[in-house]
Amino acid sequence: MILPITVYGNPILRKKAQPVSKDFAGLKELIANMYDTLAAAEGVGLAAPQVGQSIRLVIIDATPFAEEEPECKDFKRTLINPEILSYPTENEVKFNEGCLSLPGISEDVWRPDKVEIHYFDENFVEHHEVWDGMRARISQHELDHLDGKVFVDRISPIRRRLLGGKLSAMMKGKASARYKIINNK
Ligand code: ZN
């Protein structure tokens, strides 16, 4: 089932999300719905607060980058209670990011090019991995959502000011997207 996506200005996107327990009611169904939602919106990552659930759950589909990065082939991951343990690199790279919760906006964001990550998958199997490239990029963007951050928090104040009109329109409920959203009241 496709779920509507929360938009910048919705307080849930600013909340610190809660850890997920094994017995969280409807978890399997929520994950399946998030994959349906991500596919319908043609995104590469989605965090639970973006579908109205303030819990530490993220899905990633890096397969659109498989041509440039072979590691992204078949790379679909469900991350439960994920944590970035370290950034095993000196290298920060920029990439033009967008976000399904900020329709119509994209900006260059600098982030470390490698992460050491710990998470549980949809079967609560523990993983400890090192990701680089787009896997590192998407996981950092999505984990930010679990701590109430969005990518425009990471751009320069000047760039953010230039986006001011678009951001305040979103906050006032005037967002539009080619996928289902929950406009702010
Ligand atoms: Zn996002």
pLDDT in tens, 47-68: 999 999 999 999 999 999 999 9
- Cα(25) to centroid(ligand 1), Å: 24
From the list 11, 5, 50, 1, the residue with the least C-alpha distance to 171 is: 11
User: What does the pLDDT average to over 79-92?
Assistant: 97
The one catalytic residue in 67, 122, 129, 142 is 142
Cα separation, 33 vs 50, in Å, equals 12
| DSSP state at residue 123 | T
Q: How far is the CA of 179 from the centre of ligand 1 (A)?
A: 14
pLDDT score at 118: 98
Catalytic residue flag (residue 83) = no
DSSP 14: G
Shortest CA distance to 57 belongs to which of 86, 89, 82?
Answer: 82
- pLDDT for the residue 166: 96
Consecutive H or E run containing 41: helix 27-41
**Span from the CA of 91 to the centroid of ligand 1 (angstroms):** 22
Q: For 107-120, what is the mean pLDDT?
A: 98
d(CA 36, CA 43): 11
pTM for this model (two decimals): 0.97
| 177 alpha carbon – ligand 1 mean position (Å) | 14
